[in-house]
Structure 1
Amino acid sequence: MKKRLLGLLAIFGLLLGVLPVGASAAGSGESVIYGGGPFYSGGTATMNSLRSSGYTTVMLWTIHVNSNGDLVYNDQLVVSQGKYVGRAAWPSELASLKQAPTSVKRIEISIGSADVNDFHNIKSLIASQGTGTSSILYKNFSALKTALGADAASFDDEDLYDVNTSVSLGNMLSGLGYKITLCPYSNVTYWKSIKTQLGSKVDRVYLQVYSGGSWNDPATWSKNLGMPVMPGLDSKTPTYGNTPSQVQSRMTNWKSSAGITGGFMWLYDDMLKYPNYGSPADYAKAINTALGS
């Protein structure tokens, strides 16, 4: 009995050493954090904060595609002419996110946003060069994959809504080893067509339930797209957003009404700007608690 007790204590101690605050050994829910500039310039301190936060997925928001195919992370050029040209330390910093002890299992790049021409540029580049190995889109996204090791590419198309363009891009990225995720807030017909044509290459759908998508119902979107969506909420600021307790309440309700298995938070940058409303870890705990993680 004594040996067994010592063994159990040793295992318990090991778990304490491996699991970060807010993480769980048994939970299956996915908690996702979107972040912009701090994920690029925050260095080791930001990576360590994310590793101990309780989030399972880090979303690098966002990759813009210029008319010549250059890839820009927010306003930082990161890939040009098939070569990574971003900050030299960034790839190794991102790689540390998955190093134990950590809650992070997955890194994604988001492509596009509101009020940009990213998908228009992608459409033009596909029309002129295609998506084969000699195309600039293939070369640049391959270089990005090699440098950052991202597991998935998330489509945040809010400027074009052309099914053929997104399906072509999705097939190319899948061939490069990216999983494909979708992040809609409107135009369910468009997103349903992409999901149908890409099939199992799409393994997640993130539904925006804030700003222009405030009235979205996860249950309705899940039914239309044929898979449970992961709803997202905005963090609290002086003029809009949700506190951690509100996030937990809403995610709990969606788990009951829509069977959600994950959720995301927008935006890490705002959480740093308004820490009095809740830390990134507070929001991760809210999602994980709601999902029983």
Structure 2
Amino acid sequence: MSAYPIAIYGNGLFQDGYPNPPIAYDVQVEQLNAGITTVILWSIHIHAGGDLYLNDTLFVSDGQIQYATDGKSGVNPDFPRLITSLMTGGSVKDLLVSVGAWGTTSDFSAWLAARDQVKTNLGVLQSTFGVTGVDFDYESQDGYTSADQSMIVALTLDVGSLGLFATYCPYTATDFWTGCLTAVYQQNNQQQIVRLMNLQCYAGGSGNSPTDWARAVQNTPDTGVADAYAFIVPGYAVIGADGGDPASLEQTFAGLAGIGITGGFLWNSGGIWATEASEGQGAPLPSDYAQAITNGLGASAKASAKA
């Protein structure tokens, strides 16, 4: 079992490949519950009027979960059982939904235009599946403006009004995201809704330094963040998602050991299961990556014990 908080972005979780996934859905549940502590359902897209889609599949409309009746439209009807099993079967403690992705800023403008309906639909995910938070994967392709910041802050406040927490998933624009933190804190009676920053350290964020981001948060006044280093959760891609194997991940986190980073995330489940399906026994599982993060972050403790 992992000694640190470890999240994974569940790429089309329990939906990709429906009804014939590369790895059986019940096996996916078992594998996640052997070390992963937080599952982030990726990606929720918001259409005009506030409907929620899980990738390209209609998920929630007018306050109702849309289940497939013909094997084509709507989500896997076994979703409730699988989520219940996921949340009661082992290491997984939190379930988030992530809104957005690269090239989908329209999700957020659609959200802003239908805030009441989106709140209703998010509330349905909360009451039906026990969703505890919303992840903001806002990736602008034409800069980050003050209007963008006002939008993100308003939507974060909506999430907080439901009793949910938020996480931000940036890969660039440090000042923009720390500004969002300050504005949320000020407008929410000095209560911070954002629990963590899931920092992308892959693809466009491959050059990111978790230390630099932690210092940026630490040096920004009035964010309501007590521990800036624990607030930054660096994430890295896995094999099958243009990333590395558990050994390379362990080495990366060993380089972060002792500075105050307390967890990490994996990008993404789809890569792991595609690799497992193609390579078979011996391919790395979520638990292998989770253990690699634990081993890496524990490196400083092991070194101290030997001294």
Separation of aligned partners in 2, 1:60 and 1:39 = 10
Please report the RMSD computed on the Cα atoms of aligned residues, expressed in angstroms: 2.0
For structure 2, the residue ranges without an aligned partner over 5 or more in a row are 19-23, 68-75, 186-191, 219-227, 300-307
Q: How many correspondences in the alignment?
A: 256
Question: How far did 1:88 drift?
Answer: 3.3
Cα deviation for residue 291 of structure 1 reads: 2.5
Aligned-residue offset at 1:111 = 0.7
Conserved? CA contact 1:39–1:60, under 8 Å: no
TM-score (norm 2): 0.78
Per-residue deviation, residues 236-288 of structure 1 (Å, max 9, x unmatched): 24x931110110110111123x4210101111111111235522221111112
Distance in structure 2 (CA, Å) of the matches to 1:55 and 1:106: 10
1:288 is aligned with what amino acid? Answer: T
Q: Is the alpha carbon distance of 1:214 and 1:60 closer, same or farther for their aligned partners in structure 2, counting shifts above 3 Å?
A: same
Cα 1:147/1:250, change in 2 over 3 Å: same
Q: Secondary structure of the equivalent of 1:154?
A: strand
SS of 1:113's equivalent in the other structure is: strand
Could you say which residue in structure 2 is the equivalent of 1:151?
132
Opposite residue 63 of structure 2, the aligned amino acid is G
8 Å contact kept, 2:41–2:96: yes
Shift of 1:82: 1.7
**Residue pairs, 1:252-263, within 5 angstroms:** 252-256=254-258, 258-263=259-264
1:66/1:159 Cα in 2 relative to 1: closer, same or farther (>3 Å)? farther
Runs ≥4 residues deviating over 6 A: none
- Which residue among 105, 114, 117 is the counterpart of 1:136? 117
Matched ranges for 1:1-293 at <5 A: 23-24=1-2, 27=3, 29-40=4-15, 41=18, 42-52=24-34, 54-86=35-67, 87-100=76-89, 102-116=90-104, 117-125=106-114, 131=115, 135-159=116-140, 161=144, 162-199=148-185, 200-226=192-218, 227-228=228-229, 229-237=232-240, 240-256=242-258, 258-275=259-276, 276=279, 278-292=284-298
Shifted more, 171-180 versus 79-88: the winner is 79-88
Q: Distance in 2 between matches of 1:110 and 1:191?
A: 16
Structure 2 CA distance for aligned equivalents of residues 185 and 96 of structure 1? 32
TM-score under structure 1 normalisation? Answer: 0.82
Distance, in Å, in 1 between the alignment partners of 2:13 and 2:108 is 25
SS of residue matched to 2:247? helix
Mapped to 2, the partners of 1:240 and 1:203 lie a distance apart of: 28
Instruction: Supply the AA of the counterpart residue of 2:109.
Output: H
Cα distance in 1 for partners of 2:100, 2:52 equals 11
Gaps of 5+ in 1: 1-22, 126-130
Q: In the aligned structure 2, how far is the partner of 1:225 from the partner of 1:92?
A: 39
Matching residue of 1:19: none
Q: Alignment identity in percent?
A: 32
Distance change (3 Å), C-alpha of 1:75 and 1:249: same
